[in-house]
Structure 1
Amino acid sequence: MYLSAALLALPFAALAVSGRSLDSRRLADHNKRFHRRSSYSLVDFHQGDSFFDGFDFYSDADPTNGMVNYLSQEDATNANLAHVQSDGTTVLAVDNADDLSEGEYRNSVRIQSKNSYSKGLIIADIYAMPHGCSVWPALWLVGPDWPNNGEIDILEGVNEYQYNQYTLHTSDGCTLDESPTSSTVNETTGKIQAFAANILGTTCASSGSSNAGCGFSDPYTTSYGHGFNMIAGGVFATLIDDSGVSIWRFERGSIPSDIDAQTPDPSSWGVPMAFWSSSTCDVDQYFKDMSIVINTTLCGDWAGSAFSSTCSGTCSAAVANSTNFDYAQWKLNYVAVYQ
């Protein structure tokens, strides 16, 4: 669920891709991503007053060693950390009312979908996400017996980072293909690309002692934290099919009309931010029965070790200060799953 500090130190330079002018026939050929289908059926839709019906609340100790008390649904509701606003927006928050003694754990929320998925199209429309010193939010998919059935991190970062990270964690043998044959023409640049984000790592195999995974860094500050919230968020769409795993991100003002109409057509969406080809990481082998997880932990294995890169003082002191969590809230429009 995180990338190593060494990888995070890499510069967020523009991704170098090959490209040249294309005639109309070649452009059409490259725009046909072989894994995409034009018709998807809605199988699960979580929004508004029924949002929590499709999720369980996790209340055990944080497996990433965060300084949080994950609350049950009853306790989270009573503390107003999990609720639905009058406009239908679902809120998942970290406690920002109580100052703590340094070393105490702060109340937070982690939810996990009741249904699980091996393939499909998962679309999350998010108005705002948590950020702040010590804060580690994530929207992710994870299978049982980690990492043997896979993990896909869709939206994740720590502290006051500005760039979202997209990451896979798997058992041995899965790698990121840096030059996959499946590619799309970028309509803005005219270049042929398989993905638009910057590669951070290519070895997806993960364990307790080596948990960087294979991932990408989004090149835009509107992808995470404050920058994301200032544009009222947007949509993340994750497609898992025979060709691999693709993730698109759309800013609030650029969400495709077919997504809003619940008739999603990935073939019309252009270059994804992240793409892991099945040529070097077979989906059927590495990803099974994954649940959708949304959580906010504090400090822990990643936010704690990376704390000094964007924040001052200590991570445990930040957890004690309630004002650090005024923006530690998820505000969700919906989560939809298509097959």
Structure 2
Amino acid sequence: MLREQEFVGDNFFDEFWFWDAPDPTHSAVRYVDAKTARAENLTYVDSYTNKFVMQVDYEGKAVPLGQTNSTGRKSVRIHSKRLFGDGLYVIKASHMPVGCGTWPAFWTSNKGDWPVGGEIDIIEGVYNSKVNMASLHTLDGCMIPKNVSTIQQGHLDRTNCSYQPGCASSFSDKQSWGDRFNTNNGGYFAMMRDTQLGGLGIQVWFWPAFVDPQEIPLAVSAAARKAPGTVDTVVDIGSFGAPQAFFGADMGSKSSCEMSKLFHKHEIIFNIALCENGSQLSNARWEVDYVRIYSAGAGTFFF
């Protein structure tokens, strides 16, 4: 059985730290610390909805790239203070960043020398994407078999998980990304990670917000602070249906991807990167209803 814990509203400020170092992906942003983000309203909790909001500075003037101490427009990147291993990761979001050059992501990664310990991208894409893409990044030695396409709803785009660009599957549901996602008031994503020897692998699901909550697993759709206290990895996850993305299970020493060796405990990360210094960025924001984790423990503090 896995036990639930949840991040919602002001709790994000307690459970996440703000990255303010240069962007490792070299995008056109300057990530700011928590004090700056809150003072300049780049992150806050909506007083009416209790949603946690993160956004790009679309009002201030972006410092052109190439100048001394300039790295583009102010933005937000947050990391969980705890590290989590195998379990069920759920996010309900009402809005994701869109606009010229936006490159948002919700992902998990080992804290260390990337990609040692692996990376799992649950929500990711650039501003002109049509659907969401889930992907893995590992050290050499992880290949996803092509026949997983028969078990998932999405399309397997890349099979080699090593480094960049990693293995990836694009979702079949066009409501999973961008303006369509936002027009429908968002939706629910769930990622099941079972990377132990002989485990079920890594799977990602999506449900648009307009789907009847009774047709979505309660561990995913329950309102903030009203979710079941535990889930069973076999019985409960078995009712989720076919995932949008499925990255094959660890089959032992003869496996094409020994996940038990390649994936360590991860931090949870949100960010909004930019491919360019675009000006049409008033909708480049996350609105997060909650993040919910079901795991064997409360997570390991490292920050």
Are 2:30 and 1:69 equivalent residues in the alignment?
A: yes
Q: Tell me the distance in 1 between the aligned counterparts of 2:257 and 2:182.
A: 33
Q: Counterpart amino acid of 2:218? A: D
Q: Distance in 2 between matches of 1:215 and 1:230?
A: 26
User: Which structure has the bigger radius of gyration?
Assistant: 1
Count of aligned pairs between the two proteins: 265
Contact 2:129 2:177 in 1 (8 A): yes
Return the alpha-carbon distance in structure 1 between the equivalents of residues 61 and 29 of structure 2.
14
1:276 matched to 2:247? The reply is yes
Match of 1:100 among 48, 51, 62: 62
One-letter amino acid of the structure 2 residue matched with residue 296 of structure 1: I
Q: Specify which of 163, 167, 186 is matched with residue 233 of structure 1.
A: 186
Where does the alignment leave 5 or more consecutive residues of structure 1 unmatched? 1-38, 184-192, 300-314
Aligned pairs for 1:1-339 (under 5 A) are 39-42=1-4, 44-86=5-47, 87-100=49-62, 102-103=64-65, 105-143=72-110, 144-180=112-148, 193-206=150-163, 211-241=164-194, 242-254=199-211, 255=213, 256-259=216-219, 260=222, 262-263=227-228, 264=231, 265-277=236-248, 278-279=250-251, 280-299=256-275, 315-316=276-277, 318=278, 321=279, 324-339=280-295
CA-CA distance at 1:283 after TM superposition:
2.3
Larger mean CA deviation between 257-266 and 123-132 belongs to 257-266
How many angstroms apart in 1 are the aligned matches of 2:45 and 2:62? 27
Deviation at 1:101, TM superposition (A): 5.5
SS of equivalent to 2:146: coil
Look up the SS of the partner of 1:75 in the other structure: helix
Query: What is the identity percentage for the equivalent residue pairs of Structure 1 and Structure 2?
Result: 34
Amino acid at match of 1:204: C
Q: List alignment gaps of at least 5 residues for structure 2.
A: 296-303
Q: State the AA in 2 paired with 1:224.
A: W
Deviates more, 1:45-54 or 1:289-298: 45-54
Contact kept? 1:162, 1:226, Cα under 8 Å: no
Residue type at the aligned position of 2:261: Q
Please report the TM-score for the alignment, with normalisation by the length of structure 2: 0.84
Amino acid at match of 2:61: D
Aligned to 1:186: none
Q: CA RMSD in A?
A: 1.6
The answer to whether the 8 Å contact 1:135/1:296 transfers is yes
Q: Do the aligned residues in 2 keep the contact of 1:240 with 1:283 (CA within 8 Å)?
A: no
| Partner AA of 1:284 in structure 2 | S
Q: 1:101/1:109 Cα in 2 relative to 1: closer, same or farther (>3 Å)?
A: closer
The secondary structure found in structure 1 opposite 2:210 is helix
Separation (CA, whole Å) in 2 of partners of 1:100 and 1:262 = 41
How far apart are 1:174 and its partner, in Å?
Answer: 0.4
Q: Deviations over 1:239-266 (max 9, x none)?
A: 1112200111111123415121523522
In 1: Cα distance, 2:93 partner to 2:258 partner: 29
**1 CA distance for matches of 2:290 and 2:141?**
34
C-alpha distance in 1 between matches for 2:244 and 2:27: 29
Which residue of 2 is the match for residue 12 of structure 1?
A: none
Secondary structure of 2:218 counterpart: helix
Cα distance between partner residues in 2 of 1:47 and 1:100: 31
CA 1:194 to 1:83, structure 2 compared with 1: closer, same or farther past 3 Å?
A: same
Indicate the structure with greater helix content: 1
